[in-house]
Amino acid sequence: MEIVIVESPERVSATAAEIIAGLVSEKPNAVLGLCTGSSPKEVYAELVLRHRAGLDFSRVTTFNLDEYVGLPHTHPASYHRQMAEQLFDHVNVTPERVHIPDGMTKDIARTCADYEAAISAAGGIDLQLLGIGENGHIAFNEPTSALESRTRLKTLFARPGLDASLPRHVITMGIGTILDARHCVLIAFGQRKARAVAQMVEGPLTAFVPASALQRHPLTTVIIDEAAASELTLAEQYREIQRLKPDGQRGGT
């Protein structure tokens, strides 16, 4: 993993947006894996600004990680709505190239299989943006999710902060689906993510901390602020590696 520690949440978002915009400029038909939650909001805001400055999304294909089951796409908590509000309504994506699991489907198994097939048909995901949950989950892969899991139905754990008014069932890409992306970019900021970040980067590879599966991925960039980095044992060494890194080198240690 490449660990990039920056001074503020704003720098986390700006750094991630820079990587995504760089890919889209280099490869206008890039396939992006996108996430929701509070973490990526400013990344999307920055991409909207870059679009206004000329960045073209018309040939980009997107796949979102997950969605609630049974929540209408117009519901404020629906990931369809959040993505529309934060990104898709403000850039020139081609609607047919935008994919989010359909939580309103009558046939969940079929929807999940079709989602995997659509990712393959698009040539796989070039860059997957990820957040991390306080219990170490990625997408909606809760602790004990199979490390080789694919897109499927999940039941969410009850945990502090989980909105009781929202469905407990979701469709989520699996950990195996995420690991197939060619580059994973995980962002986190704030003290409340520090423990999960330390477990992901320095803890054992375990289904109990789903994000630790990224230790097996050949090209993962973890972008965090000082607060989210505060429980890392080797933080100083990660900083030094970034300082010594040859220009343009990206990737694992």
Residues with active-site annotation: 66, 135, 137, 142
User: Considering beta carbons, is residue 19 or 139 the nearer one to ligand GLP?
Assistant: 139
CB of 79 to ligand GLP, least distance (A): 8
User: Considering beta carbons, is residue 49 or 77 the nearer one to ligand GLP?
Assistant: 77
User: Considering beta carbons, is residue 6 or 35 the nearer one to ligand GLP?
Assistant: 35
Of residues 42, 46, 66, 126, which one binds ligand GLP by CB under 6 A? Answer: 66
CB of 132 to ligand GLP, least distance (A): 6
Number of residues lying near ligand GLP (CB under 6 A):
12
**Chain position carrying tokens 């989210």:** 228
**Chain position carrying tokens 């939650």:** 37
Cα radius of gyration (the chain): 17
Two structure tokens written together for 95: 């609607």
User: Considering beta carbons, is residue 65 or 175 the nearer one to ligand GLP?
Assistant: 65
CB of 185 to ligand GLP, least distance (A): 12
CB of 139 to ligand GLP, least distance (A): 5
User: Considering beta carbons, is residue 39 or 62 the nearer one to ligand GLP?
Assistant: 39
Site string for ligand GLP, 192-211 (x = CB under 6 A): --------------------
Determine contact, residues 240/207, Cβ cutoff 8 Å.
no
C-alpha span between 41 and 13 (Å, rounded): 8
C-alpha span between 208 and 221 (Å, rounded): 21
With CA atoms as reference, report the closest residue to 208 among 217, 218, 216, 199. 199
Of residues 5, 6, 65, 222, which one binds ligand GLP by CB under 6 A? Answer: 65
Determine contact, residues 141/212, Cβ cutoff 8 Å.
no
C-alpha span between 72 and 6 (Å, rounded): 37
Helix (H) / strand (E) containing 15: helix 9-26
Restricted to residues 74-133, the positions that interact with ligand GLP (CB under 6 A) are 131-133
Site string for ligand GLP, 2-41 (x = CB under 6 A): ---------------------------------xxxxx--
User: Considering beta carbons, is residue 55 or 170 the nearer one to ligand GLP?
Assistant: 170
Indicate the SS3 state at residue 199.
Answer: helix
Helix (H) / strand (E) containing 99: strand 98-99
Site string for ligand GLP, 122-151 (x = CB under 6 A): ---------xxx-----xx-----------
Task: Give the helix ranges, DSSP H, for 90-182.
Answer: 108-121, 175-179
Helix (H) / strand (E) containing 31: strand 31-34
CB of 66 to ligand GLP, least distance (A): 5
Q: Is the dihedral of CA 136, 140, 142, 147 positive or negative?
A: negative
- The residues binding ligand GLP (CB under 6 A) are 35-39, 65-66, 131-133, 139-140
